[in-house]
Structure 1
Amino acid sequence: MSPLLDVLPSELLLLIISLLSIADTQNLRQTCRTLSQLTRDKSLWLARLDHIRQRGDTPLPPHLCHPPFDAAEFSSRAIESVVILATRSADSWLRPREMVPLIPAVHGQVIAGLEIFLDKWLLVVYLSGRAQLWDMANRDSVATLDLGHGAWSYFGCLTSGKIMLAMSSVETETFLYTVDSTGFTLLGSFRCAEDRTVRAIDAERHLVVCHSATPELSVICWDDQAKWTIPLDDTEEMYNNVLAVHLLGSHILAIRARTVELHPWPQVPSLVMVHRLPSALGPASICVSDPIPSSADNSYTIFILSNGINHLSLYKVLVSGGTMDVSLAGAMRPDNSKHLFISAHALGLRAGRAMWVERQRSTIARRVNLCTLSQRREAWHEMAANGAVVFTLASYDLRDDLTHCALAEVSGRIAFGNRAGAVFLLENKRLQG
């Protein structure tokens, strides 16, 4: 160790180290024991984490996104790992990627959807009632569910730290599972008099929110089959199906084809807030972020990314208590929009990143676009200007059309499914390092 280090206070050394890049910081710890200990100091990595948070352009895990959080609950190594992952992901997010096959196409297996949880697990669900959980880092299938033949719909989410999956058949029976590396564990099932689609799950209260062709939401307890209904206004007699639902404390946010509505919890007296959208949303054309809590009590921000076939619209929903405000927060409207269509799109759970697949009408190339969305609440998101094409797939075969995609917002991992039923990852070597 240099004698100079003996006379410099550790606070000054930490200040100097904080000005270095992460790579230089890691190299510095190889020089001597004193510097090795200083480069592992928790205050150093907490300061870098706070800098990333204030900059607002790099997604972080939900529990570290906004203060206050208890730093004592996290070790210096854990905070360092998050900072390194976030920085590496930000540096590599818009760089070109390569396709890595994960699941080959199987005749008769049509993909219903892809979901990524905890930046680690990929859930692949098929219309036939088959579901698989994959470890993306190891590219290994860890659990499989097969409900047999028939047509199935599904709803997957992360609630109370658990991966939940609802599988509903055309025979109007719904099965609820928790999913982890040990398998699919059945929690319960229930039957309805008519076909219902699960739109939300509350693991703490053992509740599911369903919607059917009738103008109402059904809240069902899977323990005792107790049921409450929330009437929906359909006076205009126009198509206004429920596309997504979020449970926000004592209110339920219903995102419908033509309106965004804030309903009170059943048996709770309150006004219903309704915002009419300028154009209708298609039945499979939206991605919705998780509710992002603010510092104020009972206040949330939710983002909706809508696919208009040849353009994207980003809506912002602000919910505070029993009030709601909906506004257009961004868009992707290319000059040649009449000559392209968007086959798949995805939005990060905290709306920090987005992606879409576009194809020009006169070409065979499918282009995968990624973009970064500002975390500042008042920002306008010009998605095309803040994005880049990271992968191009050229094929004459329509079965190679990219019809499903999923996005791990923090790590930057991406999964795709095509019309034939094959699943693959888009990877960047720096993200794997």
Structure 2
Amino acid sequence: MTLTGNLLDLPTELVLAVFHCLEIVDVLNLRLCCRRLNELSKERVVWVDILRRQQETLPKAQFSAFFSKEEYHSDEFAFQHAPVASLEHIATTMHRVSVAWALPRIVAAGRIERRDNANFLGIDIFLDRWLLVVYAEGKMDIFDLLDTGSPAPVPRETLVVEDTAWGSYSASLGETGRSLFVAVAEVSPNLFLEVYEIEFAEASTSQSDISVSFFNRVRRLPLDSPKLLRAISPSLSLVAFSGASVVELINWNSVGEDTLERASIKPAYVDDPEFLWNGIVALRFVGPYLIAKTRSLELHHYGTTEDRPPPFKHYFEHKTFREVTFSYPRLVEQTESQKTLEFTMLGSDVIQGLFQFLVKIQVPIANPTPDDTYRHVPQDSMHPQMEIDLIGVYPMSLAIAPPSSSASSSRVGRSSGVDTPTPVTSHNPFLHGFGPFGHKSPASVSRGFLSTFCIGPEGKRAIWVERARSSIGREVQVWDHNMRATSNRILENWAEHLGPNCVEIEKKVILKVSSYDLRGECDDITHCAFGEGLGTIVLGTRSGNMHVLPVLQP
């Protein structure tokens, strides 16, 4: 007997259940069939379900643009109160970006010319929209990347501090996500710390109406010596500086210069020969801790002033990272006794390549404060644990030194006194570049290097710029979290050396540029930033120009 039926004969609840099983493209196609399916495809439950599924693999959508500070509470609030048309727009945009993220891009009209011979300190993108550019000559620009009024973005707001030079900076969103805090270290003519707040105006349902207010200088404090500014925490009102082996913290909300709260973290490395050459390259506030160092990953409670070993220290065996970048820490689990925070770390070893780690920190909550900021939690009552898992490698031309049997993934509670030997690597490409550690590309034959790289705030996308030695070409490459699922490079010898969870980071080239002269129009790319949700990439060059690479329509 042949069973026949019509989808339209089903009750509404069952039709919506069918939508639940469809991908976003199928939902959009199905709505073209008839008026009833068109109407059902616009139900809130359909697009909330699609957005929930997208958040499992794609960067999180920014819902706060549709609500004021008082109205917006959480994503769940947005699911229930945002216009359905807005939810559909966000979901379709995220899908389009995911499809086009790894497709080739072009350098067209999105070129931002160098301003007043200024030199970059750095560039960052916040909320997938606001491009922050900090210059060494005491200048800051805020660009709106969603402004379509001109071929190339123009500064929305500009700060100029005359006759001043900045040596370093750090920027972070405020707790509400409605303001941006930027700390700069002045190195000439005097030594000062300056903290600025940039507030985003109240949003409306029309994104073109959103603006930024002027640069509000929150604090200007004297420094006793030149310092390298590494991190800022608006919620704690703390900035972190680093020296050769010391981390100095300054609370910019402390009253008066004479009573300025300063704290120095001077770890005591007893019988540790690596102390002499294990320098600090990055700091990140994670819960009540600072994460620091290059040959190791360490946790230091920011309230600690005594010389003592760090509560946790993990060595990266046979690796020397010149630069590392972190995603934002996110809360993955919380109980009455502890919180589990997770983030992704991307580190560049000049010789071996790019390494990606997944880091989980379990923070016991002892005598938590009402605002849950850990401000008054005693160090002795905090016994953290940390899991570090190597999940990806982008190998360059040389051999990757295999770690010890337990180094690829670790879970430790207290400091380990195990010494790490000085790195030793071969100068012959592993398996001549044609094995699981080779790319079968010019970089496998001639030693290449990365000129700049960064990972997104959620750790689901990353970009880097590779240049082969003795070559005029540069490749802009991208990575996506979903590429791991399709990788076929998980071979037996790879897992044996680098761990069962480690895969080769695939090479997805989206742009190739060449220049015979590093001072030329397509000169050396030294800075990069991108919006993880909308996929817009900004490249900064040595000459001070910037190129904006939006996602092209697939």
Q: Do the structures match in fold with TM over 0.5?
A: yes
Q: Secondary structure, in 3 states, of the residue corresponding to 1:48?
A: helix
1:134-189 deviations in whole A, cap 9, x for unaligned? 01122231011112344311111223112111111113201111124222111112
User: Quick check: 1:325 aligned with 2:325?
Assistant: no
Unpaired segments of 5 or more residues in structure 1?
Answer: none
Report if the CA contact (8 A) 1:176-1:189 is conserved. Answer: yes
Aligned counterpart in structure 1 of residue 50 of structure 2, from 48, 51, 54:
48
Offset of residue 340 of structure 1: 1.5
In structure 2, the partner of 1:380 is 502
Distance 1:267 1:238 in 2: 22
Aligned counterpart in structure 1 of residue 303 of structure 2, from 244, 256, 266:
266
Letter paired with 1:146:
V
Letter paired with 2:460:
G
Identity score, percent: 26
Distance 2:222 2:530 in 1: 33
In structure 1, the partner of 2:321 is 281
Offset of residue 232 of structure 1: 2.5
Distance 1:380 1:86 in 2: 27
1:59-95 deviations in whole A, cap 9, x for unaligned? 223889xx99454354433432332122111110111
Distance 1:199 1:256 in 2: 11
Between 15-24 and 331-340, the greater mean CA deviation after superposition: 15-24
Q: Which runs of structure 2 are paired with 1:56-205 in the superposition (5 Å)? A: 56=57, 58-61=58-61, 69-70=76-77, 71-100=79-108, 101-106=110-115, 108-138=117-147, 139-152=153-166, 153-160=168-175, 161=177, 162-170=179-187, 171-179=190-198, 180=200, 181-205=212-236
Between 45-54 and 399-408, the greater mean CA deviation after superposition: 45-54
Report if the CA contact (8 A) 2:244-2:280 is conserved. Answer: no
Between 361-370 and 333-342, the greater mean CA deviation after superposition: 333-342
Q: Secondary structure, in 3 states, of the residue corresponding to 2:94?
A: helix
Unpaired segments of 5 or more residues in structure 2?
Answer: 1-5, 65-73, 148-152, 201-211, 364-383, 397-432, 434-442, 486-499
Letter paired with 2:468:
Q
Letter paired with 1:272:
P
Structure 1 residues 233, 76: CA separation in 2 closer, same or farther (over 3 Å shift)? farther
Structure 1 residues 13, 268: CA separation in 2 closer, same or farther (over 3 Å shift)? farther
Q: Which runs of structure 2 are paired with 1:237-252 in the superposition (5 Å)? A: 237-249=275-287, 251-252=288-289
Radius of gyration: which is bigger?
2
User: Quick check: 1:227 aligned with 2:243?
Assistant: no
Offset of residue 112 of structure 1: 1.3
Q: Secondary structure, in 3 states, of the residue corresponding to 1:98?
A: coil
Q: Secondary structure, in 3 states, of the residue corresponding to 2:281?
A: strand
Distance 1:172 1:126 in 2: 17
Aligned counterpart in structure 1 of residue 539 of structure 2, from 416, 427, 433:
416
Structure 1 residues 149, 280: CA separation in 2 closer, same or farther (over 3 Å shift)? farther
Q: Secondary structure, in 3 states, of the residue corresponding to 1:205?
A: coil
Offset of residue 391 of structure 1: 0.7
Distance 2:32 2:216 in 1: 47
In structure 2, the partner of 1:401 is 524
In structure 1, the partner of 2:470 is 362
User: Quick check: 1:303 aligned with 2:341?
Assistant: no
1:209-242 deviations in whole A, cap 9, x for unaligned? 2333462332423342322332224564523333
Structure with the bigger percentage of strand: 1
1:14-64 deviations in whole A, cap 9, x for unaligned? 23445555456446657766444322211111222233244x3x2223889
- Could you tell me the TM-score, scaled by structure 2's length? 0.69
Structure 1 residues 254, 22: CA separation in 2 closer, same or farther (over 3 Å shift)? closer
Report if the CA contact (8 A) 1:188-1:223 is conserved. Answer: no
Report if the CA contact (8 A) 1:154-1:168 is conserved. Answer: yes
Between 224-233 and 112-121, the greater mean CA deviation after superposition: 224-233
Offset of residue 308 of structure 1: 1.9
Alignment coverage as a number of residue pairs:
418
Between 112-121 and 168-177, the greater mean CA deviation after superposition: 168-177
Q: Which runs of structure 2 are paired with 1:334-345 in the superposition (5 Å)? A: 334=396, 335=433, 336-337=443-444, 338-345=446-453
In structure 2, the partner of 1:425 is 548
Distance 2:477 2:508 in 1: 5
Report if the CA contact (8 A) 2:524-2:541 is conserved. Answer: yes
Q: Secondary structure, in 3 states, of the residue corresponding to 1:72?
A: helix
- Could you tell me the TM-score, scaled by structure 1's length? 0.87
Letter paired with 1:143:
E
Distance 2:114 2:154 in 1: 16
Query: RMSD across aligned C-alpha pairs, in angstroms?
Result: 2.9
Report if the CA contact (8 A) 1:257-1:280 is conserved. Answer: yes
Q: Secondary structure, in 3 states, of the residue corresponding to 1:342?
A: strand
Distance 1:205 1:73 in 2: 32
Distance 2:329 2:247 in 1: 22
Letter paired with 1:98:
I
Q: Secondary structure, in 3 states, of the residue corresponding to 2:107?
A: strand
User: Quick check: 1:389 aligned with 2:428?
Assistant: no
Q: Secondary structure, in 3 states, of the residue corresponding to 1:326?
A: strand
Distance 1:200 1:128 in 2: 20
Q: Secondary structure, in 3 states, of the residue corresponding to 1:257?
A: coil
Distance 1:341 1:214 in 2: 27
Distance 1:166 1:76 in 2: 39
1:350-401 deviations in whole A, cap 9, x for unaligned? 110111111222331111111112599x843421x2x411111122121211
Distance 1:86 1:308 in 2: 32
